[in-house]
Structure 1
Amino acid sequence: MAVQHETELYAPLKAFFEARGYTVRSEVRHCDLVGVSADSDEPLIVEMKKTFNLPLLLQGLERQRLSSEVYLAVERNRSKRGAHNQRWSEITTLCRRLGLGLITVTRYKTKAPFVEILCAPGDKEALQAPKVIKRRASRLLYEFNERSGDYNVGGSNGTKLVTAYREKALRVALALEGGGELAPREIREMSGVGNAADILQKNYYGWFTRISRGRYALTPQGAAGLAQYRGVVDGWAEAAAGRTPGKDAPPEDNLRL
């Protein structure tokens, strides 16, 4: 069963690595899937495409600047035997020589997708991988750790992502939604966002307005932003109450981006 969009590969890959002890987030600093495990000091990075191609390969090489644990993931379409991007033995050898892992996802009409690792990063035949740039790797992990959950779908294109910064802006907006005109100090205490004053002043999304010296309020754009990402906000309340965000809520309360 062929996939129509590469985002369809994300759910089975996420489930596959979560079953192996990883905490998974999508679209972290342009990486399709990032996983963090207590057993590894480096993040797992997976880049996805419907088919194996040169852009995917180049993307994987670039991600080796962030981690040595980089996989390429593509669909394994049983109806395209012999196609150049389905020559798995040769493609696997290429990935091994470049120090990249390779994963295939086979989808079926009546049963769950099958995820298979054809080679792992660091397998034999690997050439020396590019040196990890620690500063960029640190930024990747910072963005991962600052997010409260996984609100995006890996492989998304042209979609507004729920980044760590957007989450903080949402927390600031939520404080103003119930508090009217507030000072940055009050907003910081209510939201738990340490750099609330900086977010208010930069006003990147146009959600806040300065009413007077040291007093801020929510704009109509801010109210619309809270409505658009209400699923994220409700997820925080569910997590605080000890429920699994999205699973215990009715379907209409789930996040829509």
Structure 2
Amino acid sequence: MAVRHETELYAPLKVFFEKQGYEIKGEVRTCDLVGIRENGEPPLIVEMKKSFNLALLLQGVERLKLSPSVYLAVERNRDKKGAVNQRWGELSGLCRRLGLGLITVTFYKTKAPVVEVLAEPDETLPAQRGGGRRRERLLYEFHERSGDYNTGGSTGVKLVTAYREKALRVALALQEAEAELQGVRSARGSAERDDVTAAAEQPSEFASAAMAEAEQAGQQLLAARPEIAAAGSAAAETSAGITPAELRKRSGVPGAAAILQHNYYGWFLRITRGRYTLTKGGHAALVEYAAVTGNVTAGV
């Protein structure tokens, strides 16, 4: 049974390595599959293709700069017995010479896929130079993600990176803060309407006198203290939007201010100095990534 997309290899490989104690995440800094175990050993990296080819081999050699534990994974199609990419003995020997592992996945119509390891990576080979910083970035990206939201082997799709997760957390905090602020304003407006209604129910002479007295007192205060009028105007301007400090506290994202300022995804709008609101795109993103936001906020 031939697969149509290499992404179909991801699920059986994920299950296979999870049974060996790995935490698996897909599409981590261009690596199709990355696995980490708590014993501190180098990360597991798997690169996948529908069939064995030179591009896959070169990709695997490049990944050896990041970790000595690199596998190449391809489909084992029983209908291609005479094809070049089915000469498993020779391909296994080639991978061993290069220090790479080789895995095949066989798909069936009526039973679960079968994963078979044909060659193990040679972790005794000298570590390749030049991959230290890249390996650190790979591990950082892996650990900063709250879960596995990408399918390994994906191309042309939006990936849930650690940065996108943090931006979603800030967007969610902004949405919730604005909703709370709107609730407070609604409650305040309701209370003010109740006060007006109560005043209207008073005898007309009493109500008119009270309103006139209050208006006169207010005018006298503003005339004597013009700075109060200015302060009230400034408060009205800053009552809209949420500050980066508040969003940093709510979201638990230390770099919330930078995310708001850079606005990489177009989710945030600066309405005045130090005040932000959520755009239509931001609201749409929270709906699109509802499964992600539900998970990333669980531990906050």
Same fold at TM > 0.5: yes
CA distance, structure 1, for counterparts of residue 97 and residue 41 of structure 2: 23
The 5 Å alignment of 1:105-124 reads 105-122=105-122
CA distance, structure 1, for counterparts of residue 47 and residue 75 of structure 2: 12
Deviation, structure 1 residue 128: 5.2
* Structure 2 counterpart of 1:185, from 225, 229, 245: 245
211-220 or 127-136, larger mean C-alpha shift: 127-136
Which residue does the alignment assign to 2:148?
150
- Between Structure 1 and Structure 2, which shows a larger proportion of helix residues? 2
CA distance, structure 1, for counterparts of residue 94 and residue 129 of structure 2: 19
SS in 2 for 1:189: helix
Aligned residues, how many?
238
Deviation, structure 1 residue 235: 3.2
Deviation, structure 1 residue 133: 1.3
Deviations for 1:161-216, whole angstroms, at most 9, x for unmatched residues?
Answer: 00000000000000111112211110001001010001000000010011111111
Which one-letter code corresponds to 1:144 in the other structure?
A: F
Which one-letter code corresponds to 2:66 in the other structure?
A: L
Q: Does the CA-based 8 Å contact 1:68-1:132 persist in structure 2?
A: no
Which residue does the alignment assign to 1:213?
273
Which one-letter code corresponds to 1:112 in the other structure?
A: A
CA distance, structure 2, for counterparts of residue 217 and residue 64 of structure 1: 45
Which residue does the alignment assign to 2:226?
none
CA distance, structure 2, for counterparts of residue 192 and residue 223 of structure 1: 20
Which residue does the alignment assign to 2:80?
80
Deviation, structure 1 residue 40: 4.0
Residue ranges of structure 1 left out of the alignment (5+ in a row): 241-257
The 5 Å alignment of 1:90-169 reads 90-122=90-122, 130-131=128-129, 133-169=131-167
Which one-letter code corresponds to 1:32 in the other structure?
A: D
SS in 2 for 1:35: strand
Q: Does the CA-based 8 Å contact 1:151-1:232 persist in structure 2?
A: yes
Asked if residue 60 in structure 1 is aligned to residue 60 in structure 2, the reply is yes
| Structure 1 residue ranges (4+ consecutive) displaced by more than 2 angstroms after TM superposition | 126-132, 234-237
SS in 1 for 2:77: coil
CA distance, structure 1, for counterparts of residue 144 and residue 271 of structure 2: 30
CA distance, structure 1, for counterparts of residue 14 and residue 259 of structure 2: 32
Which residue does the alignment assign to 1:246?
none
Deviations for 1:92-139, whole angstroms, at most 9, x for unmatched residues?
Answer: 00000000000000011111110011111107xx86563361110000
Q: Does the CA-based 8 Å contact 2:165-2:296 persist in structure 1?
A: no
CA distance, structure 2, for counterparts of residue 128 and residue 90 of structure 1: 24
Which residue does the alignment assign to 1:254?
none
Cα distance 1:132–1:73, how it changes in 2: closer, same or farther (>3 A)?
Answer: farther
Residue ranges of structure 2 left out of the alignment (5+ in a row): 179-240
Q: Does the CA-based 8 Å contact 2:103-2:118 persist in structure 1?
A: yes
TM-score computed with the length of structure 1 as normaliser? 0.89
Which residue does the alignment assign to 2:207?
none
98-107 or 131-140, larger mean C-alpha shift: 131-140
Cα distance 1:205–1:188, how it changes in 2: closer, same or farther (>3 A)?
Answer: same
CA distance, structure 2, for counterparts of residue 197 and residue 203 of structure 1: 10
SS in 1 for 2:270: strand
Q: CA RMSD in A?
A: 1.6
Q: Percent identical across equivalent pairs?
A: 65
Q: Does the CA-based 8 Å contact 2:50-2:75 persist in structure 1?
A: yes
TM-score computed with the length of structure 2 as normaliser? 0.76
* Structure 1 counterpart of 2:282, from 217, 222, 229: 222
158-167 or 213-222, larger mean C-alpha shift: 213-222
Q: Does the CA-based 8 Å contact 1:97-1:127 persist in structure 2?
A: no
CA distance, structure 2, for counterparts of residue 40 and residue 12 of structure 1: 24
Which one-letter code corresponds to 2:251 in the other structure?
A: S
